[in-house]
Amino acid sequence: MIIKPMVRNNICINSHPAGCAAVVRRQIQYARDTLADGKDPAAARSAAPPGSPALVLVIGCSTGYGLASRIAAAFGYGAATVGVSFEKPASESKPGTPGWYNNLAFEAEAAKAGLAVKTLDGDAFSGAMKAETVKAVKELAAAAGIPAKIDLVIYSLASPVRTDPKTGVMYKSVIKPIGKSYSGKTIDMMTGKFTTAGAEPATEEEIQNTIKVMGGEDWELWIDALKEADVLSSAARTVAYTYIGPELSWAIYKNGTIGRAKEDLERAARTINEKHGGSGLHAWISVNKAVVTRASAVIPIIPFYVSCLFKVMKELGLHEGCIEQIVRLYRDRLYRPQGTSGASGVPVDSEGRIRIDDLEMREDVQQVVLARMDSATEETIFSATDVAGFKHDFLEAHGFDVSGVNYDADVDPAVI
């Protein structure tokens, strides 16, 4: 079939296999070039800095920061990786989800490079998936001839719903303000037209449901399960991702339901450290830069803000996507050169968080971004902001608008 993007209200409902595979390969090349000096994974493993990961688990491995985390560990350090995600495969008449194609492409490139990998598909919130993952870790380690001890656990789940494994109750998250209604300017990235987006305040039940889905409870359950199964190394590290952003977005983000869930994620990091820190495990929250994801396109004000941010950061030579951020997280934070290794050597802010949103939140960057947002009009939107770049990144996340891909070609949706 010939696959063209189908976008409705800033939501893309399909994906392209060849485009997704091309994006994965590009990220792999970046990780190889920057973390491994272009070496193949075997050589990268031999030359990896002391303390760098040999066995990595990525929970939420198929898109965005989770995918980048897996790519950087595998092709930057030659690590064996186990990934967990929940994706919909292609059929004869319909493409699969972007993450399904990303996983296939990653596994294909890993096989060529001789990397040990295993990808599990299913509900990461369930107890059954945690048990299946422990089994997969042991099997993969045995096949690779390495200890079944995970050095790094990345928690990067992004799901709108979660079923509590103990009660069987399903919870749904919402993106809403707390306390009062919200109204703000946003843009249709496909046309550049301004619209006003609003949301009514969340109920207490909606707040608690969002915390259940997007908070830190499941991260804690994962670490408990891995610890009980004795598959964590003596100096294991675990990282979960969050976003803070500028004050102009706080009403709908930091001070809204999402922000409340992210506060619980930070609570979970403290709990994990208190509970397991004595055995050598250390947990961090990494505050990351704004990037275009399948979700960010529908959060009020975010498309407008990110379009202005991209324009300014590109002008200053500071722009980063997911893979650039994660490479910097590994290289400059988690696995710094010898002499600064160990948990105490990881640079953090006053709250104990890793900050790789530092470039986005620079005062000079934010001042120009706010000025652009104040002055941009529909007549100047494509010159004053990078709405075109936002649109490109959004389409690219689904395998579209990727250089070198023939979108007029007849493709098999089940083949990358």
Distance (Å, whole) CA 125 – CA 314: 38
Whether residue 123 is predicted with pLDDT greater than 60 in this model: the reply is yes
Of these residues, 155, 182, 253, 305, which one is catalytic? 253
The pLDDT value recorded for residue 198 is 83
**pLDDT tens digits along 403-413:** 999 999 999 99
Average pLDDT over residues 106-133: 98
Phi/psi for 404 (5° steps) reads 90, -5
The pLDDT value recorded for residue 93 is 87
CB-based contact 389:310 (threshold 8 Å): yes
Which one has a higher pLDDT value, 49 or 353?
A: 353
* Strand blocks (E) in 21-145: 55-59, 80-85, 117-121
Confidence of residue 340 (pLDDT cuts 50, 70, 90): very low
Two tokens, residue 314 = 């590109």
253 included as an active-site residue = yes
What type of residue is 180? Answer: K
CB-based contact 85:125 (threshold 8 Å): no
What type of residue is 156? Answer: S
**pLDDT tens digits along 269-310:** 999 999 998 899 999 999 999 999 867 777 888 999 999 999
In the chain, % of residues over pLDDT 90: 85
Residue 283: which H helix or E strand, with range?
Answer: strand 282-287
Whether residue 338 is predicted with pLDDT greater than 60 in this model: the reply is no
Report strand pairing: 182-188 vs 193-199.
antiparallel
Residue 154: which H helix or E strand, with range?
Answer: strand 150-155
**pLDDT tens digits along 45-78:** 888 888 899 999 999 999 999 999 999 999 999 9
18-38 burial by CB neighbour count: b if 16+ within 10 A, else e?
A: bbbbbbbebbbebbbebbbee
The pLDDT value recorded for residue 339 is 44
- Of 356, 361, 336, nearest to 346 (Cα)? 336
Residue 309 CB-density burial (10 A; 0-12 exposed, 13-18 middle, 19+ buried): buried
Distance (Å, whole) CA 410 – CA 416: 12
Whether residue 196 is predicted with pLDDT greater than 90 in this model: the reply is no
User: pTM for this structure?
Assistant: 0.96
**DSSP-assigned letter for residue 12:** E
Residue 105 CB-density burial (10 A; 0-12 exposed, 13-18 middle, 19+ buried): buried
**pLDDT tens digits along 232-282:** 999 999 999 999 999 999 999 999 999 999 999 999 999 999 999 889 999
Please identify which residue in the block is written with the tokens 């996507």: 321
Confidence of residue 218 (pLDDT cuts 50, 70, 90): very high
**pLDDT tens digits along 81-107:** 999 999 999 998 899 999 999 999 999
The pLDDT value recorded for residue 210 is 98
Average pLDDT over residues 156-160: 93
